[in-house]
Each structure stands twice: as structure tokens, then as C-alpha cells.
């Protein structure tokens, strides 16, 4: 059985930097939920946050903010999210999937 290779110092630093970046992103998302300009741009309906279009003042059911902001606003308002706990779609992940398709891994 081959011996497990220990991660290099560079890999350890990268893992630490990634974890730190994720914590910073999560903290900024929470701050945006509590202090951001989204106040007044949504209504609570059936224990869910529904975005209101600021131009025609119509409810936009089925839309959500990205990067976890929608879930953070739901948590702020005490709504129980009916969705799973994953983040809203993020275009960065689509970019990463392209590497595999292009054979750049």
C-alpha cells in the first residue's frame, strides 16, 4: 500500500487562504443582508423572501439573489428556507467546470 503523501507547505498555505477567503465572503454576505440596500426590495410571503422589482413594483417569484445573499436575508427575517442549504448559483463555478471540458486540469 503506497504511503500517503503529506501536503506541501504551498498546499497548506493555499488551503488556509481558501478557508480564510470563504470566511470573509460569508461575513460580507451577512453584513450585506443586515446593512445592505436590499431592505424594501423584498416582501415576506408564505414564510419565504420574495424579491420585488424596484422599477415596476411587481413581485418576482422564483428569482433569488446570488452568492448566498438570498439565504442570508431569509435567515435575517427568520424565514425557513425551503431550499437546500447550498448557495445560489454562482458563475465562478461555471468557469471552473470549463477547465475540465478544455482539458486544462
Question: What tens digit of pLDDT does each residue of 48-64 get?
Answer: 888 888 787 788 888 88
Tell me which of 1.20.140.10, 3.90.1440.10, 3.20.20.30, 3.40.50.410 is the CATH number of domain 9-102.
Answer: 3.90.1440.10
On the question of pLDDT at 97 being above 60, the answer is no
On the question of pLDDT at 17 being above 70, the answer is yes
On the question of pLDDT at 104 being above 60, the answer is no
Q: So what's the pLDDT on residue 84?
A: 45
Q: So what's the pLDDT on residue 24?
A: 92
DSSP for the chain reads -PPPPPPPHHHHHHHHHHHHHHHHHHHHHHHHHHHSTTTTSEEEETTEEEEE-TTT--EETT---TTTHHHHHHHHHTPPP-S-SSPPP-HHHHHHHHHHHHT--
Which residues, other chains included, contact 72 with Cβ-Cβ below 8 Å and sequence gap of 6+? 29, 30, 32, 33
**In the chain, what are the domain boundaries?**
9-102
Amino acid at each position: 500500500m503506497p504511503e500517503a503523501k503529506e501536503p506541501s507547505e504551498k498546499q497548506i498555505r493555499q488551503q488556509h487562504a481558501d478557508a480564510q477567503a470563504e470566511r470573509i465572503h460569508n461575513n460580507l454576505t451577512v453584513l450585506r443582508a443586515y446593512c445592505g440596500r436590499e431592505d424594501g426590495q423584498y416582501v415576506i410571503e408564505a414564510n419565504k423572501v420574495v424579491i420585488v422589482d424596484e422599477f415596476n413594483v411587481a413581485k418576482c417569484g422564483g428569482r433569488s439573489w446570488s452568492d448566498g445573499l438570498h439565504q442570508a436575508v431569509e435567515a435575517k427575517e427568520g424565514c425557513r428556507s425551503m431550499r437546500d442549504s447550498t448557495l445560489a448559483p454562482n458563475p465562478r463555478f461555471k468557469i471552473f467546470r470549463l477547465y475540465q471540458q478544455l482539458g486544462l486540469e
